Structure 1
Amino acid sequence: MRHFFRNIIVPGAFRIPKEVSVNGSIDATISGRIDGNVKGNVKTTGKLVVSETASIKGHIYATDLVVHGKVYGDVYISNKAHISNKAFVKGDVNAIVLELEEGAVVEGAIRKNVLPTPKIETPTAVEPHHPSMTGEALPVSAAATTPAASAANEEEEQTTSWF
């Protein structure tokens, strides 16, 4: 019975049937259920249910999430995520509360994260007279190459991990 209530979507929510494929992102201010295929990010300020027949190839941003199908991308949930025993997630899961059923497959990190936004890496510009451009040796910081520095960086990442 608990499983039944978890999958209920409120009236007025969007639904993508299993016969429908979407190529592009979905941005909604209402809850929804996906039974078909989506190639693009899915963003909603409500609850999202990914059914057993669904496949999403993109990142998911939602308040609440229930996954029974396949997700190929990172998941950013600002409240509660439930990953069922039939689900397959290839990407990181970031949620405040996580229910993970035995048998669920998550190929990625599981983190407690208060903001449903991904880390954005900014590329650094290379100066025209940079030593690598002239064939000179690059200066190497000893602190960056020591195992202790690597272990310290791993410990920092683990402090935000669920495990």
Structure 2
Amino acid sequence: MFNKENKKPMAADNSLGGSNRIIAGTIIKGEVNSASDFRIDGEIEGNITTTGRLVVGKDGIIRGEVICANADVEGTIIAKSLIVKGTLSLKSTANIQGTVQAEKLAIEPGAIFNVTCSMGGASTKTTINNEPIKKESK
């Protein structure tokens, strides 16, 4: 009846349309892995990896490494490494610090973006804080 040899690990199925949510007042310390979309309104102190979209609400805070497909940020990310394979979208209340690698970047006026940023394979060091992006000349 409880034969361990017949048990197969269940694969994550993102086709179910499920998503995860960390609500305000919740603090998670450790590593989080998900095959679904993820919304953070609480705090994560550790690494988060998702093959879906990451949404950080206005009161959401992430301290750690982040890897995701796409990200919409209203809150705070203090990341040793933030890797977004698609589009990183920063709302006016966003505060991003650390190292960022993204394919595309959209920043609303008012967002704080104090990072070392790499886009499309090109590395650019910049600090943006309510100022236009200036292209570096080589």
Which category describes the TM-score, using the shorter chain as reference length?
0.7 to 0.9
Distance of 1:39 and 1:104 partners within structure 2: 22
Distance of 2:47 and 2:58 partners within structure 1: 18
Q: Describe the superposition over 1:98-141 as per-residue Cα deviations: whole angstroms up to 9, x where unpaired.
A: 10111111111221146xxxxxxxxxxxxxxxxxxxxxxxxxxx
The answer to whether the Cα contact below 8 Å between 2:45 and 2:62 also exists between their aligned partners in 1 is yes
Structure 2 unpaired stretches of 5+:
1-15, 125-132
Q: Give RMSD over aligned pairs.
A: 1.7
Deviation at 1:30, TM superposition (A): 0.7
* Structure 2 partner of 1:37: 43
How many residues end up aligned between the 2 structures? 110
The answer to whether the Cα contact below 8 Å between 2:117 and 2:123 also exists between their aligned partners in 1 is no
Q: Describe the superposition over 1:126-159 as per-residue Cα deviations: whole angstroms up to 9, x where unpaired.
A: xxxxxxxxxxxxxxxxxxxxxxxxxxxxxxxxx5
Instruction: Return the letter of the residue paired with 1:17.
Output: I
Distance of 1:94 and 1:85 partners within structure 2: 20
* Structure 2 partner of 1:65: 71
Identity among equivalent positions (%) equals 25
Q: How does 1:1-163 map to 2 (within 5 A)?
A: 11-73=17-79, 74-113=81-120, 159-161=122-124, 163=135
Q: Relative to 1, partners in 2 of residues 1:23 and 1:66: Cα closer, same or farther, differing over 3 Å?
A: same
Find the residue that maps to 1:108 and give its secondary structure: strand
* Structure 2 partner of 1:128: none
Question: Between Structure 1 and Structure 2, which shows a larger proportion of strand residues?
Answer: 2
Structure 1 unpaired stretches of 5+:
1-9, 115-158
The answer to whether the Cα contact below 8 Å between 2:69 and 2:84 also exists between their aligned partners in 1 is yes
Normalised to the residue count of structure 2, the TM-score between the two structures is 0.74
Normalised to the residue count of structure 1, the TM-score between the two structures is 0.63
Over alpha carbons, which structure has the higher Rg?
1
Question: Between Structure 1 and Structure 2, which shows a larger proportion of helix residues?
Answer: 1
